[in-house]
């Protein structure tokens, strides 16, 4: 399998909507790092799994959407606790929808909160 990975850093806000969230129930910010990995076993005509500039453009557009945003206010988190797990899933689904290639088999997103904890979501495409 071939993989191509892009990482980006940004700050976003949220509050947790679970019972008894403690201090996490108040609006607060996180410095996030997203690591986006696409995977496939076939290369294209020029030896690329995916054009890395195309992947960067998709990831950058998503980072622009989430940078300085309050996740709770976005439609993809309506009725959903804006956990780092849900965030990773939303990000991965949008990457999969944004990349135009038939050579990808999977997309995975790992989201780091600060540098101490992370959650990942992976899906076949």
Q: Which domain range does residue 93 map to?
A: 2-124
Query: Burial letters for 63-84: b for 16+ Cβ neighbours within 10 Å, e otherwise?
Result: beebeebebbebebbeeeebbb
pTM for this predicted structure:
0.95
Averaged pLDDT of the chain: 96
- Angstrom distance (rounded) from CA 120 to CA 24: 20
pLDDT value of position 68 = 98
The 10s digit of each residue's pLDDT in 57-116 is: 999 999 999 999 999 999 999 999 999 999 999 999 999 999 988 899 999 999 999 888
How many other CB atoms are found less than 10 A from the CB of residue 89? 20
Tell me the CATH number at 47.
3.30.479.10
The 10s digit of each residue's pLDDT in 5-46 is: 999 999 999 999 999 999 999 999 999 999 999 999 999 999
């Amino acid at each position: 399998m071939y993989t191509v990975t892009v990482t980006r850093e940004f700050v976003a806000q949220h509050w947790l909507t679970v019972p008894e969230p403690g201090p996490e129930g108040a609006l607060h910010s996180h410095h996030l790092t997203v690591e986006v990995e696409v995977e496939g076993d076939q290369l294209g005509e020029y030896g690329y799994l995916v054009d890395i500039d195309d992947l960067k453009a998709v990831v950058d557009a998503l980072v622009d959407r989430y940078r300085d945003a309050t996740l709770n206010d976005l439609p993809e988190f309506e009725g959903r606790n804006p956990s780092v797990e849900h965030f990773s899933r939303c990000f991965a689904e949008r990457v999969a929808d944004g990349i135009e290639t038939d050579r990808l088999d999977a997309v995975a997103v790992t989201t780091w909160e600060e540098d101490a904890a992370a959650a990942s979501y992976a899906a076949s495409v």
